[in-house]
Copies of this chain bind each other. A is one copy, B any other.
């Protein structure tokens, strides 16, 4: 059974509205006058990180990627639970975990430690509270909205390639130690139509937003913010690369965002393709898909 079939079967087991159809990165639970936001991500050696990569960076990224899901909901983090597979690298993992908890001011609340059998696999659950209602979804983009993205796209790709090739001439921080856009997410949440984090590649994640919203998103590739050292021939690659953990969101036309961001396109009524890149449906790879 492949991943798509498995997730489809899981979806049938998750009819509760709080599960949001397993389609929105998080669960949202009303509890005692608050709305709790929950997310859980796993990372596997050789799949989500390079063998030999510093376990401190693995720990950081495990925390950061989960908090990025909270950021996209405008949530205030309340804590994390760690599921850790023992088997080497613990000292460095603890260093990176401590640094991430401190950097993002999020408490470690619990979890589990198990012996591993084979490659390392760790999981993390993050919970937060909604800071505004309704909690943003991928599905709120409306025709006429402007499409925005925070930060830059492609830094993680260039950093990954430098790390993979053991080159020291390129900063790898944005790949190894992504920073969830928590403050930006909280500032944006009351204003946005749709919002999500760019974890699997701009073109793929924008396609998901378009499909969830029932619109077509038109992106101007020249407007997309990329690092200064990105070769012109790599721009298309950068737009299909994951791991940037920037926020992608829509605002009504003419409205300025409350944080630094770049307008990269707009929403229009649903056409033949959910995504247009420079006026045409994009060919080729849109992003990181787990089955590839």
**Cα of A19 to Cα of B101 in the assembled complex, Å:** 14
Asked whether A108 lies within 8 Å of B34 as measured between CB atoms, the reply is no
In the complex, whether A111 has a CB less than 8 A from a CB of chain B is yes
Shortest CB–CB separation between residue A122 and chain B, in angstroms?
9
Interface string of A105-142 (1 = CB under 8 A from B): 00111111111111101010101010000000000000
Task: Tell me which residues across on chain B come within 8 A of A84, comparing CB atoms.
Answer: 6, 42
Shortest CB–CB separation between residue A126 and chain B, in angstroms?
10
Shortest CB–CB separation between residue A110 and chain B, in angstroms?
4
In the complex, whether A254 has a CB less than 8 A from a CB of chain B is no
One of B1, B33, B97 near A90 (C-beta < 8 A): B1
One of B2, B10, B34, B94 near A82 (C-beta < 8 A): B10
Asked whether B38 lies within 8 Å of A109 as measured between CB atoms, the reply is yes
In the complex, whether A256 has a CB less than 8 A from a CB of chain B is no
In the complex, whether A85 has a CB less than 8 A from a CB of chain B is yes
Interface string of A3-47 (1 = CB under 8 A from B): 101110110011110111010001101011110101111111111
A29-B79, A90-B1, A121-B85 known; A18 and B114 CB under 8 Å?
A: no
Task: Tell me which residues across on chain B come within 8 A of A85, comparing CB atoms.
Answer: 42, 44, 121
The 10 closest A-B pairs by CB, nearest first: A118-B118, A32-B34, A117-B119, A16-B107, A27-B109, A32-B32, A1-B90, A123-B123, A40-B81, A14-B108
